[in-house]
């Protein structure tokens, strides 16, 4: 653990008023998602290395130190989101160490603002994972072999990710008993997600499809039947499979799901294939739903976006810009 890594609490064993039990420490530690902790560790390590190279203190860091470090990240042309994450990491580390109100980020944020403007003037845009639209989804499905466990799993991964508008963490967390078949389709129970930190859970209802290769019910049932045939009746839904096609213990991680989506996009030879990620499945669902004229409120609820989140609109606006374009139909 680095000096800058955010900690749930400090333990002073000799003072019963500040001590925490191992169970309490464990629950506090697990309250922070693993992805967040990994990002904190990476950013903290980079900041510590830079401070050591330049003879600067890390805790507490002066406003000038933070501003200089942010300028250094700008020199490396780091993405604004990456720099914002670095600033957040340093601020949290100071707060956890008892340095409330430090460091002063005003100069650092002004430098970041300049960096954003410089990048815009250079024609650089925020990189976004391209959406897996329906045509691309079908092309990716066509590269899979439904006669193999890997092909069936990949089909389930793609179809569920698209139809659920799922985050990769949600897909990785799915278990076999989270899926229930009904007359109208299937219901998928999501135990916890990014916007459900209290783990109240949410149900996603997916209707029957019309195409055998992309029907969520047919594809998911085929995969579950394969698991059953291999003696697997519970546990992770999306299983690890080795290069020889053998099912392995344990489920796929979010990173593995990401890499699999990219590999399938490359296999399908879609344009800009290496840019595709699992997030493209989450983006593709609302894009196609918007094309079909579904209300934004329905799309947001289905995708488990916060009611105040502007994210879902980012997927819908490209559709609206063409469908509701003021230049359409004026006689040009």
pLDDT digits (tens, 9 = 90+) for 127-147: 667 889 999 999 999 999 999
The mean predicted confidence, pLDDT, of the chain is: 85
Tell me: pLDDT of 235 over 70. Answer: yes
Where do the domains of the chain lie? 22-121, 134-323
Look up residue 48 and give its two tokens. 């510590």
Tell me: pLDDT of 307 over 90. Answer: no
Judge contact between 235 and 176, C-beta under 8 A. Answer: yes
Mean pLDDT of 42-48: 91
Cβ neighbours around 263 below 10 Å, total: 16
Cα atoms in the Cβ-side hemisphere of radius 13 Å centred on 219: 30
Closest CA to 145 of 135, 155, 136: 155
**Helix 311-323 and helix 279-291, axial crossing angle in degrees, nearest 10:** 40
More confident residue, 118 or 310: 118
Look up residue 101 and give its two tokens. 């109100």
Q: How confident is the model at residue 36 (pLDDT cuts 50, 70, 90)?
A: confident
pLDDT of residue 1: 42
* pLDDT tens-digit readout, 156-204: 999 999 999 999 989 999 999 999 999 999 999 998 766 655 666 788 9
Unique residue bearing structure tokens 């459900």? 196
Query: The CATH number of 134-323 is which of 1.10.8.420, 1.10.443.10, 1.10.10.10, 1.10.150.20?
Result: 1.10.443.10
Tell me: pLDDT of 263 over 90. Answer: yes
Query: The CATH number of 22-121 is which of 1.10.150.130, 1.10.1040.50, 3.40.1160.10, 1.10.3720.10?
Result: 1.10.150.130
Tell whether pTM > 0.85: no
């Amino acid at each position: 653990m680095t000096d800058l890594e955010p900690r749930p609490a400090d333990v002073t064993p000799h003072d019963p008023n500040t001590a925490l039990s191992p169970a309490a420490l464990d629950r506090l530690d697990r309250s922070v998602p693993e992805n967040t902790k990994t990002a904190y560790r990476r950013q903290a390590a980079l900041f510590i290395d830079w401070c050591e190279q330049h003879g600067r203190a890390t805790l507490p860091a002066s406003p000038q130190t933070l501003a200089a470090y942010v300028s250094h990240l700008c020199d490396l042309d780091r993405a604004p989101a990456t720099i914002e994450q670095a600033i957040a990491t340093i601020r949290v580390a100071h707060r956890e160490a008892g340095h409330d109100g430090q460091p002063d980020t005003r100069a650092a944020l002004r430098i970041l603002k300049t960096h954003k403007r410089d990048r815009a003037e250079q024609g650089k845009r925020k990189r976004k994972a391209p959406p897996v639209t329906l045509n691309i989804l079908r092309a990716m499905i066509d590269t899979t072999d439904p006669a193999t466990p890997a092909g069936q799993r990949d089909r389930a991964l793609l179809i569920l990710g698209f139809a659920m508008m799922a985050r990769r963490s949600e897909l990785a967390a799915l278990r076999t008993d989270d899926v229930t078949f009904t007359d109208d389709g299937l219901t998928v129970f999501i135990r916890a997600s990014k916007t459900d930190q209290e783990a109240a859970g949410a149900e996603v209802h997916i209707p029957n499809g019309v195409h055998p290769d992309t029907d969520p019910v047919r594809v998911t049932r085929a995969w579950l039947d394969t698991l059953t045939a291999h003696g697997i009746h519970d546990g992770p839904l999306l299983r690890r499979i080795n290069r020889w096609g053998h099912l392995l213990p344990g489920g796929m991680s979010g990173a593995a799901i990401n890499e699999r989506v990219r590999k399938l996009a490359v296999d399908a030879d879609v344009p800009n294939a290496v840019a595709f990620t699992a997030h493209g499945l989450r983006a593709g669902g609302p894009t196609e739903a918007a094309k079909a004229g579904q209300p934004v409120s329905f799309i947001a609820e289905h995708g488990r976006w916060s009611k105040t989140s502007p994210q879902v609109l980012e997927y819908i606006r490209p559709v609206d810009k063409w469908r509701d374009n003021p230049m359409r139909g004026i006689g040009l």
